[in-house]
Structures are given as C-alpha cells and as structure tokens.
Amino acid sequence: MAVLCQFMGIDQKFTKGYCPRENGLTERVNGTIVRMLKKKTVVPAEWDKILPTVVYAYNASEHRATGESPHFLVYGRDPKYPSGVIPTEQLSPYIVDYDNYKTELLCGLNLAQELISESSKEYRDKMKENYDRKWKTNRSTIFKTGDRVYMKLPAEKSKARHPKLVTEWSGPFRVLEASNNSALVTLIGENEEPHRVQFDHLVKVPSEIDNTPLFGATNRGKRGRRKVLAIRQGRNMGGVNKIIFANFFNFSAPLSTIGNVRHVDWRCPGQLMHNGQLVQCSLETTVKDVIQNAPLSSFSFSSPYELARNIAVITQSHVPDNWRIARMLDSSYDIVTPSSLGRAIAYYRSHCIHSTLASVIDAGNSVNCPPRSCQDPYHLPQLFPQAIAFANRNPWTAASWNQLKPRKTLVLLPEGFDETLKCFESEMMTAKVMRTPEDVDPEWFEEELSAVVVFSPFSCADALRWRSAWVLFMQAVAQGAELIALPGPQDDDGWGKTIDMMRDLMEETVAQRPSLAPRLRCLLPLKSENNVIGAGFK
C-alpha cells in the first residue's frame, strides 16, 4: 500500500483513536445517509436493498458547501434521471465531437473547482467558528515536548460497576512531540509503544504529583487486527502437519513485587506506623489458620499468591491427598484460580492492616496487578480483576473456609458413549460427548474446573478444526485446570492420525509456554509405539 501511494502521489494520513471528528467528511455523510434511510425504509431488515437508491439520490443532490452535486464534481456533468433517459427522436444537444467533448469537460471542471473553492472555504470557516465558539477550543491546553500528562481512558466508565466513582485517567505519560492538536506520548518508566492522542484527552500532571503509576481496567484501542491464537502449518510428520501456536500469552509489563501491597507477592512486614502509632500485623500464617482439616495444615504462607496457590491445590478433585500434599510442597507447581486468589485477597483484607487500608483507598477504583514473570501459566492482569470482584462479593468471615468446595472434573468422551454418560456423572465429575472438535461448547467451561480429561475422537481433524476447542482448553488451564489427554477406543481408520494430532498440539503448546508443562499431562501413545500407552508428558 505504501508503494502504491508513493507511485500515485497520495499522502496517506491516519486518524487517532476515539477522535471521529478527524473523519469529519465520512461521519457527516454517514449521518445524512442514515437519516435518508429512516425516511425511506419500510422494513428495517431490508435497509440494504434501498441503500443504492439513497446513495444515488445523495450524489445527485446539490451540496450546500459546494453549490454543486457530488456527481457533477466527479464526472463533470449532471446525473441522468430515469425520466431523462427515455429515447426521443430529437437530436440531443450533448452529442458533440470527441475532441470538443474533452476540451469542454476539462474547462467545465476547472471552472467548477474555482467556484466551489471559494464557496467551500466560506462554509468551512463558518463551521469552524461555530464549533470553536461551542466547545471553546481556543482555551484548550497546549502541550509541549517533555510535559507529564495523564491520558483519558474512554471505555473506563462503561466497564465499571460504579462509573461515577471511577478514575478514567492513566499515566503519567511523557510528551515526546506535539502538533497543533495532538501529542505523541509514552508511559513514563516503561518501554511501550507511544500513543498519538488528541489534546482534549490529555491533562497536565501538577508538579507536586510524583510518577506513581495510575492504571485502569481498560486500555485505549489501537488500529489493526487483534492478535489471536494462530495456527500455521509446518513440516509434515507422519502424515500430520506440525502446528505452531503464535501469540500465546504475551506479557510486557512490570513484574509483581513483594513491596507493593496491591501485588499478589506482597509480604507483610509485621507492623505498620500509622499517625505515630505502631500497629502490629501478622508476618506468616499456616494453612490451618485459614482452612480447617486441610492437608499439610502446618504449611505456612507469607503472601496472597502463596495462599491462593495452596487453596487452588486443595480444591483439586481429580488427584488424591498425597498428590495434593506433594504439589503444595513443590513451589514450581504454579497454579492460581480466580476464586482462590479472591479468597486469599479477602483473607488478607481481614487479617493484614496494610491490605485493609489499601482496600479502603482503592474502593471504587480499578486496580491492576502485573504478572509475576514473563512465563506465567496464567494471564494475571486479566485474572486479578476477577479475583478482586470475587473478594468484594465474598468478604472473609470465620466461616468462610466452609464455603471452600472442590472443583469439578470435565470428561470429554468420544462417540458411542452417549448412553453411558450417567456412569461418569458425580458430584465431582461431569461428562460430555465430543464426536468432533467442533462439538466443544464454551458453556462447559463457565465454572472453574479441576481438570479437563479429553479422549481422542474417532474422526481425524486437522489443526484448524482443533483451534476453537484448543483455545477453550487453554483458557481452562489458565483458570487453574489441568489438561489430560487420553487415547480413545482404537479402530482401523483415523485413530493413529488423531492421536498424532493431539500429541502435536500438546507438544507445541508446551514449546511455546514451558511453564504449562506441569499441568498438561499427555498419556497418548508415541508415534513409534502405536499399541503402547506412553508415559506422562514432561
């Protein structure tokens, strides 16, 4: 596109986000077209059928700013109406010689451009005067390079439960360059891509305010397609295309620290000096102080994350007690669920004076938590607001540990098990039939799961058909579930190819995100061992 614009002599310019007035011509035309459709459309669902007629009527009508119709300014002649194309026996005055036609057309267009240039300039000046008087644009703040500013988040209020109490600004940002009506800004202290923002979405930071970050629950949208889980085909392995997952959980943000009370790794120092008074606070607590009759009840924790990890392990229903104890002792087994982190936050609000004061200060505002590392097996900036909402709905009480319930296991069975589903149903397990990957329903993953057990289906499906189902599986894993892949009943058709495809999906997922390996258990046969169930995936 850049080469084409250069070849055609086109100066391509892009507008900024949340600034529709920069596309004034387009927005003005859209408004007029909509009003015309309202008057002419009888059946609302058939508006597209009458749209060509409305557009033709618009192009054939005289424009107030130019004094001519758009059709005349483009083609150099007035449009033809149905009544004017009826054949007549008289000779048309428009039938001229070709050379004379070119000369008259060019002269007419030049004359029209000269006339409408004056009319259009007067019209624009009048519109600008009225707009500046209404919005007082002459009084707007002018920013210069080096200024510290806060940036407005247009969608912040619409996403909040109490929009009137939400702070819709983020920052502070540093102005890199400024034009007459916009500035290029970047977040102070972070290596992020700059934003081009109009002046009325910026406000100067007073000199007495430091550079403490202020974040919101939303971000300003950017042009371009969203990055999605992409599957591209690579080399062929045993008749199955090897798949590669791109853009799988990509974090670029400051990491969680033990010194910030709003982060999950916060460690209480044991005391707080407040208004000259020394207030004692707990340093470390054991699991039995939170959950009675819990396995390894003497195990201690010192941060909301450690408590949330222990709760997530304790609520696993697909493994026995000795496995849960081993996982609690294994610090590399990284698992957090929205409810476990929400219970941990609620507990700290009740027992840590630092967290209590922070919750009072943050009441009504959006609070974000950065990831713990660039290899987190979950998206903590997205999971943390869910945990905060859970903590707000379920404040900690002496009986809160009674509400702790084991999470269910979802079993996806292949075709032929429809009549035996009840055999798998229990208080801790639910079963569904997955004939093909397209059968996987998002409603199956609405609640937090302990594990997702997937049996290979009979029919062989390529990587693209697995994409939607695999995204749902990975979302469940990011919410604290384990994914266990098992071979289904063997037949003589596509059983081997299906096994190979599922194993390739597991291997490539772990290759892109190694931290997921402890919670992805592949019990599928190896390609070289078609009749032997392989060992656990590592």
Is 406 within 8 Å of 400 (Cβ atoms)? no
CB atoms within 10 A of CB 116: 18
Give dist(CA 28, CA 47) in Å, integer: 19
* Burial classification of residue 87, based on how many CB atoms lie within 10 Å of its CB (0-12 exposed, 13-18 middle, 19 or more buried): exposed
Give dist(CA 288, CA 296) in Å, integer: 8
Q: Which two tokens stand for residue 443?
A: 């409603």
Cβ neighbors of 465 (< 8 A, separation 6 or more) are 436, 437, 438
pTM over cut 0.85: no
Total residues found in the chain within this entry: 538
Q: What is the pLDDT of residue 182?
A: 82
* Torsion angle of the four alpha carbons 461, 465, 467, 471, in this order, in degrees rounded to the nearest 10: -90
10-residue mean pLDDT profile of the chain (538 residues): values are 80 72 77 85 81 87 78 78 55 56 70 72 79 67 83 78 76 86 83 80 84 76 46 39 40 65 83 76 73 75 87 89 87 89 88 83 77 80 87 83 83 84 85 89 90 87 85 90 88 75 87 86 69 40
Q: What angle do CA 163, 164, 167 make, to 5 degrees?
A: 80
The amino acid sitting at 441 is D
Which ranges in the chain are annotated with CATH 3.40.50?
Answer: 408-522
3-class DSSP state of 533: coil
Give dist(CA 429, CA 449) in Å, integer: 10
- Token look-up 């919101």 returns 216
Is 370 within 8 Å of 263 (Cβ atoms)? yes
Q: What is the pLDDT of residue 451?
A: 92
HSE of 430, CA atoms in CB hemisphere, 13 A: 12
Reference 345, options 315, 372, 381, 307; nearest CA is 307
Give dist(CA 204, CA 182) in Å, integer: 13
Pairing of the two strands 449-455 and 408-413? parallel
Cis peptide before 269 (omega within 30 of 0): no
408-522 maps to CATH 3.40.1180: no
CATH hierarchy code of domain 140-222? 2.30.30.30
Which ranges in the chain are annotated with CATH 2.30.30.30?
Answer: 140-222
